[in-house]
């Protein structure tokens, strides 16, 4: 799905701003047809994009399990009549139904990917229009992430008391998290563009494939360099462009060409779309991860889309700050743990040469208790799989052209030791490879190589590790032995390169204790030092992603002190001692 961009033939209207909002805890809105004539009071003001959870002082809004309604009015210019007008949501977490002027235009399941609808038939051109969205945040075994709604039928809870159970820690933020846009384009339009790049000697090769929607048109493409000079051109809906002496996209240097696509019908230019293109290759070879044929070592973080007040809502200021901090600390990569991030984030990674492991929102598929099985018909079964495959399709369709994305992660910490895990993940891995034969595929697993049933399906072993944090509390001296054993075990079993996709310890900023104790800044630093000593000895370890880039909000529970404090930056993006330690380690290496 193409990102909405302006051009000579396309206009955009951003519907971000303050919308009208109402909770619907009883689920009365659908039967009451709240979409028909405008939301009735009591409504409150709600920013878009943002999570709604932390905007008010009302805990029942923060912790709501159910549906909320958003609405706003907007004008559509008379001049847009006769054009194709699309309404696009960057995401709605987790499920949405959308009406325009009371007519249903689209439904979408899944909280982290865009969806859109041609709304021309519902609009009043040259007039006032209303968009209404019902957003539901409930997670069950058929959604991604997975979860369970529990109704507590016992004397200690009021009748019908419901809670959302989730088997992951991050707060279940919800709402309209990403920009909402109206796009006017020609009726015969450029529907999709796919590029695949290769390197032959000093030349770059760009294969492209263009789909035209709404009619017939000839396709002409030009490839422009970063200064706007044409370096290659072709005609036809799919072909290959050769760039002599190409400037490659590489880590630390996000060189981008622009593929300018024109759809021409009867001699007239109908539509123009410009796609940024980075020429690069990725490949796993033996124990190495190669970008442009050169070994790449991942230095960086697992992150979250998370900040105070706006929760998971997209915010240019936070995103820019995060990329500046990545650069400051010497990181070259991150993982979009545990869901696809806003596409604007991948665009910035493309421009800045930051490498991304893109993850599907398949998290929570684990009870962390071997007595209870997740992979079964009543839980993670065929309905979940069907949705998982849909989400992989949507994610790859959105992100396939980003040079920063070098690998797909299909899940985080599923119960990989269960009998059903292999049968479940086989088709998921296969579908990812079918959709994109160019990128390696992984699943992030927990320690326990002995019983893992899914490692053979993937190209890289990505493993999360918390020695001396979730076990042997305080015994930092055990990390060396335990981690060495674990990593060697994975390597002996699968003979694949290993990225440690999570390792980290909570620290409360400003809490000091020497000798180190858990939750102090000193403990977090010493924990990292111990891990690094092991990584530096094992040459099949090809990456270190600290958990986490910044402190982030979690569900409430006795293991968290207003959120997960494993950030090396605070939630306000200030460095803890660990950030200085990492900066010293990472900026002293110039291997890319």
Which one of 177, 566, 571, 576 is in contact with ligand BDP (CB under 6 A)?
566
Which one of 101, 465, 507, 564 is in contact with ligand BDP (CB under 6 A)?
564
Does the footprint of ligand BDP cover residue 486 (CB under 6 A)?
A: no
Per-residue x/- mask for ligand BDP, residues 142 to 181, rule CB under 6 A?
A: --------------------------xx------------
Catalytic residue (one of 116, 394, 502, 544): 502
**295 alpha carbon, distance to own chain's centre:** 25
Specify whether 502 is catalytic: yes
Q: Give CA torsion, residues 113, 106, 54, 15, to 10 deg.
A: 90
**Which CB sits closer to ligand BDP, 119 or 380?**
380
**Which CB sits closer to ligand BDP, 48 or 498?**
498
**Which CB sits closer to ligand BDP, 52 or 549?**
549
**Which CB sits closer to ligand BDP, 274 or 555?**
555
Checking DSSP bridges between strand 441-445 and strand 355-359, what pairing results, if any?
A: unpaired
Q: For the segment 398-427, give every residue that binds ligand BDP (CB under 6 A).
A: 412-413
Tokens coding 255:
């060189």
**119 alpha carbon, distance to own chain's centre:** 27
Does the footprint of ligand BDP cover residue 332 (CB under 6 A)?
A: no
Return the H-helix or E-strand segment holding 342. none
Does the footprint of ligand BDP cover residue 344 (CB under 6 A)?
A: no
Which one of 322, 343, 350, 502 is in contact with ligand BDP (CB under 6 A)?
502
Q: DSSP class of residue 315?
A: -
Q: For the segment 460-479, give every residue that binds ligand BDP (CB under 6 A).
A: 464
**Which CB sits closer to ligand BDP, 109 or 338?**
338
Does the footprint of ligand BDP cover residue 336 (CB under 6 A)?
A: no
CB contact at 8 A, 223 and 241: yes
- Least CB distance to ligand BDP at residue 566 (A): 5
Contacts of 209 (CB under 8 A, 6+ apart): 193, 194, 195, 237, 238
Catalytic residue (one of 413, 418, 486, 544): 413
Checking DSSP bridges between strand 541-547 and strand 498-503, what pairing results, if any?
A: parallel
Q: For the segment 24-63, give every residue that binds ligand BDP (CB under 6 A).
A: none
CB contact at 8 A, 209 and 193: yes
Nearest residue to ligand BDP, scored by beta-carbon proximity: 169
**Site for ligand BDP (CB under 6 A): how many residues?**
10
Instruction: State yes or no: cis peptide before 372, omega within 30 of 0.
Output: no
Return the H-helix or E-strand segment holding 190. strand 189-200
Specify whether 187 is catalytic: no
Contacts of 483 (CB under 8 A, 6+ apart): 465, 467, 530, 531, 534
Tell me how far apart the alpha carbons of residues 432 and 442 are, in angstroms, rounded to a whole number.
Answer: 10
- Least CB distance to ligand BDP at residue 289 (A): 21
Identify the three-state secondary structure at position 239. strand
- The separation between the first and the last C-alpha atoms of the chain, rounded to the nearest angstrom, is 31
Tokens coding 355:
């490498």
- Least CB distance to ligand BDP at residue 330 (A): 23
- Least CB distance to ligand BDP at residue 468 (A): 13
- Least CB distance to ligand BDP at residue 446 (A): 7
From the number of C-beta atoms within 10 Å of its C-beta (0-12, 13-18, 19+), residue 28 rates as exposed
Tokens coding 100:
């325009």
**Which CB sits closer to ligand BDP, 112 or 208?**
112
Catalytic residues: 413, 502
Query: Which residues of the shown chain bind ligand BDP in the complex (CB under 6 A)?
Result: 168-169, 338, 412-413, 464, 502, 547, 564, 566
């Amino acid at each position: 799905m193409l990102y909405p961009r302006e051009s000579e033939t396309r206009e955009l209207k951003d519907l971000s701003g303050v919308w009208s909002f109402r909770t619907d805890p009883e689920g009365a809105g659908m039967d009451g047809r709240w979409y028909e004539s405008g939301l009735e009071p009591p409504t409150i003001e709600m920013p878009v994009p943002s999570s709604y959870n932390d905007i008010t002082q009302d805990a029942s809004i923060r912790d709501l399990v159910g549906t909320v309604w958003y609405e706003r009015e907007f004008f559509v210019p008379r001049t847009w009549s006769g054009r194709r007008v699309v309404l696009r949501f960057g995401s709605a977490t987790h499920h949405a139904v959308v009406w325009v002027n009371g007519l249903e235009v689209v439904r979408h399941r899944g909280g982290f990917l865009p969806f859109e609808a041609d709304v021309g038939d519902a609009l009043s051109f040259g007039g006032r229009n209303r968009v209404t969205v019902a957003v539901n945040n409930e997670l069950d075994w058929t959604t991604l992430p997975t979860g369970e709604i529990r109704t507590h039928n016992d004397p200690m809870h009021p009748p019908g008391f419901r809670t959302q159970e989730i088997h992951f820690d991050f707060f279940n933020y919800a709402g309209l998290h990403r920009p909402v846009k109206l796009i006017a384009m020609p009726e015969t339009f450029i529907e999709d563009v796919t590029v695949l790049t290769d390197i032959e000697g000093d030349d770059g090769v760009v294969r492209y494939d263009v789909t035209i929607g709404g009619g017939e048109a000839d396709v002409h493409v030009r490839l422009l360099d970063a200064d706007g000079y044409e370096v290659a051109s072709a005609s036809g809906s799919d072909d290959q462009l050769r760039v002599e002496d190409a400037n490659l996209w590489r880590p630390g240097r996000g060189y981008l060409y622009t593929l300018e696509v024109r759809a021409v019908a009867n001699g007239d230019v109908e539509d123009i779309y410009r796609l940024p293109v980075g020429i690069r290759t990725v490949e796993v070879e033996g124990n190495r991860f190669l970008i442009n044929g050169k070994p790449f070592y991942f230095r960086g973080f697992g992150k979250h889309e998370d900040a105070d007040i706006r929760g998971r809502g997209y915010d240019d200021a936070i995103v820019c700050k995060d990329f500046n901090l990545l650069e400051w600390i010497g990181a070259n990569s991150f993982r979009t743990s545990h869901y696809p991030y806003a596409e604007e984030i991948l665009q910035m990674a493309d421009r800045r040469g930051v490498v991304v492991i893109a993850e599907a929102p398949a998290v929570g598929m684990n009870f962390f208790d071997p007595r209870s099985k997740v992979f079964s018909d009543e839980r993670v079964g065929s309905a979940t799989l069907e949705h998982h495959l849909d989400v992989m399709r949507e994610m790859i369709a959105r992100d396939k052209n980003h040079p920063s994305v070098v690998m797909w992660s299909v899940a985080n910490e599923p119960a990989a030791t269960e009998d059903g895990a292999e049968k479940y993940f086989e088709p998921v891995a296969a579908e990812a490879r079918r959709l994109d034969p160019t990128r390696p595929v992984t699943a992030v697993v927990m320690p326990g190589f002995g019983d893992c049933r899914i490692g053979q399906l993937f190209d890289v072993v990505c493993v999360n590790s918390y020695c001396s944090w979730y076990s042997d509390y305080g015994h930092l001296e055990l990390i060396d032995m335990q981690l060495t054993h674990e990593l060697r075990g994975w390597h002996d079993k699968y003979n694949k390169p290993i990225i440690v996709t999570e390792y980290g310890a909570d620290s409360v900023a400003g809490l000091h204790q020497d000798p180190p104790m858990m939750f102090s800044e000193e403990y977090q630093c010493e924990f990292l030092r111990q891990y690094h000593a092991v990584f530096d000895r094992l040459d099949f370890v090809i990456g270190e992603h600290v958990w986490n880039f910044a402190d982030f909000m979690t569900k409430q529970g006795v293991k968290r002190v207003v959120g997960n404090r494993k950030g090396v930056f605070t939630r306000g993006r200030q460095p803890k001692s660990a950030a200085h330690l990492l900066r010293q380690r990472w900026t002293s290496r110039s291997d890319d």
